[in-house]
């Protein structure tokens, strides 16, 4: 059966988007999801996202990594889904939707989508890295030679190594530019490669940098391979709230396969 899909990208993190309000997509078909995400044999994407109806909110988000498995929250994917929902006429310029990690508020103005992320009250500060969950698990560590660093090799070692093992974590390498700007490169679990941007990842980096006193700012710019994202937040007694991921989400093309 032909499948209509829409391709979106948010700072180079790209997704196959499907309008599943009629519940026609076979959600158990891992092979089909992996095929659609395959960059040689399929459409090609870091992940696949279903837009579904919700009784109480604007829509529901279901996210799959490129490996075909349903996964945890995708920040850039959530931003792209808001833009997709507007393109379909499901929303106008704001949304409240349910994702695997709970409810998300969002606004859209042109290409710019602002997505509210989870509150974070637990940030593990280790000797050489920080670990936190911003809707997906993130390992954060400094790498001053970030431009030449072998993200896939080194990220994979951390992702599959102890304590993450098979369940894994996303891995973010960070270089400080100044108190307002950090450069980030991310190895993504479930893509098992570097992605040009990771929304929950840059959110994790922004909060981690504040938590370890690398900055006192609460509006931080993250330079990623695919562009720039911003993260804003409030913090009180170690609780990070009112966390917003801000950046572009763009329609690329519509197709059938
Ligand atoms: N690969 C991640 C989910 C997608 C995260 C990323 N695409 C984002 O924008 O947050 C994981 O399995 O934890």
Residue 1, pLDDT score: 74
Residue 95, pLDDT score: 98
Q: Are 78 and 61 in contact (CB under 8 A)?
A: yes
Of all atoms in ligand 1, which is nearest to the CA of residue 134?
A: 10
Among positive and negative, which fits the CA dihedral 205, 211, 214, 219? positive
Q: Known catalytic residue: 37?
A: no
Three-state secondary structure readout of the chain: CCCEEEEEEECCEEEEEEECCCCCCCCCCHHHHHHHHCCCCCCCCCEEEEEECCCCCCEEEEEEECCCCECCCCHHHHHHHHHHHHHHCCCCCEEEEEECCEEEEEEEECCEEEEECCCECCEEECCCCEEEECCCEEEEEECCCCCCCCHHHHHHHHHHCCCCCCCCCEEEEEEECCCCEEEEEEEECCCCEEECCCHHHHHHHHHHHHHCCCCCCCEEEEEECCEEEEEEEEEECCEEEEEEEEEECEEEEEEEC
Nearest CA to ligand 1 atom 11: 189
Q: Known catalytic residue: 80?
A: no
Residue 220, pLDDT score: 98
pLDDT string in tens for the chain (257-residue length): 799 999 999 999 999 999 999 999 999 999 999 999 999 999 999 999 999 999 999 999 999 999 999 999 999 999 999 999 999 999 999 999 999 999 999 999 999 999 999 999 999 999 999 999 999 999 999 999 999 999 999 999 999 999 999 999 999 999 999 999 999 999 999 999 999 999 999 999 999 999 999 999 999 999 999 999 999 999 999 999 999 999 999 999 999 99
> pTM for the full model?
0.98
Phi, psi dihedral angles at 216 (to 5 degrees): -110, 5
**What residues are paired with 221 via a beta bridge?**
181, 230
Residue 206, pLDDT score: 98
Q: Which of 198, 202, 206, 231 is catalytic?
A: 198
Q: Is the CB of 76 under 6 A from ligand 1?
A: yes
Q: Is the CB of 156 under 6 A from ligand 1?
A: no
Q: How many whole angstroms from 192 Cα to the centroid of ligand 1? A: 11
Q: Is the CB of 7 under 6 A from ligand 1?
A: no
Q: Is the CB of 13 under 6 A from ligand 1?
A: yes
Any binding-site annotation on 31?
no
């Amino acid at each position: 059966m032909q499948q209509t899909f829409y391709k979106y990208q948010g700072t180079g993190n790209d997704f196959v988007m499907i309008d599943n309000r009629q519940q026609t997509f076979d959600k158990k078909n891992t092979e089909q999801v992996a095929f659609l995400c395959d960059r040689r044999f399929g459409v090609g994407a870091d992940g696949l996202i279903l837009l579904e109806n919700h009784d109480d909110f604007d829509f529901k988000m279901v996210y799959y990594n490129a490996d075909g498995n349903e996964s945890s929250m995708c920040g850039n994917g959530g931003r792209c889904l808001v833009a997709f929902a507007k393109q379909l006429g499901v929303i106008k310029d704001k949304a409240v939707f349910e994702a695997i990690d709970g409810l998300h508020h969002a606004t859209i103005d042109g290409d710019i989508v602002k997505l509210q992320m989870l509150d974070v009250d637990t940030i593990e500060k280790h000797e050489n890295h920080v670990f936190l969950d911003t809707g997906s698990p993130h390992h954060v560590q400094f790498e001053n030679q970030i431009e030449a660093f072998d993200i896939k090799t080194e990220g994979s070692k951390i992702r599959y190594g102890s304590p993450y093992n098979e369940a894994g974590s996303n891995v973010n390498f960070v270089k400080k530019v100044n108190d307002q700007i950090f450069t980030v490169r991310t190895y993504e679990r479930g893509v098992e490669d570097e992605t040009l941007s990771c929304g929950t990842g840059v959110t994790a980096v922004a909060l981690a940098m504040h938590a370890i006193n690398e900055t006192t700012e609460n509006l931080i710019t993250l330079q990623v391979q695919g562009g720039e994202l911003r993260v804003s937040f409030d913090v009180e007694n170690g609780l990070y709230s009112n966390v917003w991921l801000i950046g572009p989400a763009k329609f690329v093309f519509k197709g059938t396969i």
